[in-house]
Chain A
Amino acid sequence: MAAVTADQTTQGTPGAADAAEAEHLKVFDAAVAADERIEPRDWMPDAYRASLIRQMAQHAHSEIIGMQPEANWISRAPSLRRKAILMAKVQDEAGHGLYLYSAAETLGTSRGELLDKLHTGRQRYSSIFNYPTLTWADVGAIGWLVDGAAITNQVPLCRCSYGPYARAMVRICKEESFHQRQGYELLLALSRGTPAQHEMAQDAVNRWWWPSLMMFGPPDDASAHSAQSMAWKIKRHSNDELRQRFVDICVPQTEALGLTLPDPGIRWNEELGQHDFGAIDWTEFQEVLKGNGPCNEQRLAQRRTAHEEGAWVRDAAVAYADKHAARPGSSGAAARPVEASS
C-alpha cells in the first residue's frame, strides 16, 4: 500500500487523494473483515487486484494446459466408455479455464492479454502439467491425485473474498468431483486386473505422488504470497495445512485401491492425530518451475501452435459476424431477440 500512496502524491491534490484512499481502504478492510464479498466495481487496493489477476490467470492457464497430458490418451482409451469419460473430462477442463478467464477479466485485464502472457511465459501454469503421461494408468493417477489435490486446494476458494472467483470455484468444484472419482475407478480396475495392469497402476501412483504434494506450493515459511493472501481472505488455509489434509485423505484411499504410496516415512502419528510423511524434494520443484521439467517446452509450444492454427477460424467468425451485422434488416444471425423480460 506504500506504493499506492506514493503514486497518489504525484497527482494534483495529494492531501485529498490520500484521504479518499484511506477512506476507501477502510471500507474495503471492513468488508473483508466482515466476510463480505468484494465485487468487480468496488474499490480495491491495487495490490489485491494484481494478486488476484496473478492467481486467477495461473489457475485458468493450468486448466487449459492441463488438457494436454490427458488429451494425449483420448485416441488410445481402452474402451468406448473410458473414451467418452475422458473426452467429457478434457472438455470440462476447457470450461473451467473459460470460467476463470471470465472471472479474471472482471478485474480489468483482457482475454487476449492473458493468453499472450501465457504464450510468452510471463504468467505461469501449475508445474504438475510439465510431467508426461507415460501409460494409461497415468490418466487414473491424474484424476485421483492431481484433481484430488486441486479439489483440496479449491474447496476453500469457494469462500474467497473476491465474488467472481468464488462463484467460478463453486461451479468448478461441483464438476471436479466426477474427475476424481473416474480416476479412482480407473486405477481400481487396473489394480484388480492382471499383474501387469496392477504394476502399471502402482508405477503411475509412484510417479505422481510427490509432484501432487508439490501442487500445494512451497512450505509456509518459504511461500512468497501466502501471508498477504490469507489476510485478504483470498486464501483460507496455509499450503502445509492443505497438504497435510490431502495426505490424511489419500492414505486410506490408497489402501482401498490395494496400492502403496512411494514414501516409507508415512505413518500414523497418534499424538498429532495425523500422518507423518517424508521430506519433499523442493529442488525438483524449483527446477520444474524454472522451466527444466520433462515437458515444459512441449506444453507451451503446443499451446502456441493451437492458438496460431486457430487464428483463421477466429478471424472467419468475426468476418461472418461483421457481414451479417452490416446487412440491413438482419438482427444478428439466427438468434431470436427475447420478446418479454423475466
Chain B
Amino acid sequence: MSSSTDWPLWEVFVRSRRGLSHTHAGSLHAPDAEMALRNARDLYTRRSEGVSLWVVPSTEITASSPDEKDSFFEPAGDKPYRHPTFYEIPEGVKHL
C-alpha cells in the first residue's frame, strides 16, 4: 500500500448559470489547481450543473469561529432600524 499522504483538499464553487453567483458545492482532493478543476468538473457538474467553476485550497479559507458567534455577530442584533419594516408610514402613501 502506498505510504503517500492525501492530496491537498480543495473547496469547489459552481456558477450554475450566467447571472448567478458561484456557490459552494463541496470539496475534493487533488494534487494541484488544474487537476482540482478537472476533478471538480467530473464530480460536481456531471449533469450540466455549472457554466463556471472555482477551486480554492481549503487551507486558504479563514472562517469565523462558531464559539464566538454571539459576540461576533452581536453588533447587528440591536439595529432593527436597518430594515425598511422598522418605519411606520401613514396608510395610503404609495411608492415608499
> Chain A residues in contact with chain B, CB under 8 A?
39, 41-43, 88, 91-92, 95, 98-99, 102-103, 105, 110-112, 116, 119, 167-168, 171, 175, 304, 307-308, 311, 314-315, 317-318, 320-321, 324-325, 332-335, 338, 342
The answer to whether B4 and A102 touch across the interface, beta carbons within 8 angstroms, is no
The answer to whether A320 and B26 touch across the interface, beta carbons within 8 angstroms, is no
Interface centre among B4, B32, B67 (most CB of A within 10 A): B32
The answer to whether B7 and A99 touch across the interface, beta carbons within 8 angstroms, is no
The answer to whether B66 and A318 touch across the interface, beta carbons within 8 angstroms, is no
Residue B43 CB within 8 A of the other chain: yes
> Chain B residues in contact with chain A, CB under 8 A?
1-2, 4-7, 9, 21-22, 26-29, 31-37, 42-43, 46-47, 54-55, 63, 65-67
List B contacts of A321 (CB < 8 A): 31-32, 35
Residues A311 and B1 in contact in the complex (CB < 8 Å), given A320-B31, A334-B34: yes
A311 to B35 CA separation, bound complex (whole angstroms): 16
The answer to whether A111 and B29 touch across the interface, beta carbons within 8 angstroms, is yes
Q: A311-B1, A333-B32 are in contact. List 13 more A-B contacts (CB 8 A).
A: A102-B28, A111-B29, A168-B26, A304-B1, A307-B2, A308-B1, A314-B31, A317-B31, A317-B32, A318-B4, A321-B31, A325-B32, A335-B37
The answer to whether B26 and A102 touch across the interface, beta carbons within 8 angstroms, is yes
CB distance from A112 to the nearest CB of B (A): 5
List A contacts of B4 (CB < 8 A): 311, 314-315, 318
CB distance from A32 to the nearest CB of B (A): 15
List A contacts of B9 (CB < 8 A): 105
The answer to whether A112 and B5 touch across the interface, beta carbons within 8 angstroms, is yes
The answer to whether A318 and B28 touch across the interface, beta carbons within 8 angstroms, is no
The answer to whether B46 and A110 touch across the interface, beta carbons within 8 angstroms, is no
CB distance from B80 to the nearest CB of A (A): 23
The answer to whether B33 and A333 touch across the interface, beta carbons within 8 angstroms, is yes
Label chain B's interface by main secondary structure: mixed
A171 to B46 CA separation, bound complex (whole angstroms): 12
> Which 3 pairs show the lowest CB-CB distances between chains A and B?
A311-B2, A321-B32, A333-B34
The residue on B at minimum CB distance from A98 is B43
List A contacts of B32 (CB < 8 A): 317, 320-321, 324-325, 332-333, 335
CB distance from B22 to the nearest CB of A (A): 8
The answer to whether B55 and A317 touch across the interface, beta carbons within 8 angstroms, is no
The answer to whether A307 and B1 touch across the interface, beta carbons within 8 angstroms, is yes
A119 to B63 CA separation, bound complex (whole angstroms): 34
CB distance from A55 to the nearest CB of B (A): 18
7 cross-chain CB contacts under 8 A: A88-B46, A317-B32, A317-B35, A320-B31, A332-B34, A335-B34, A342-B21
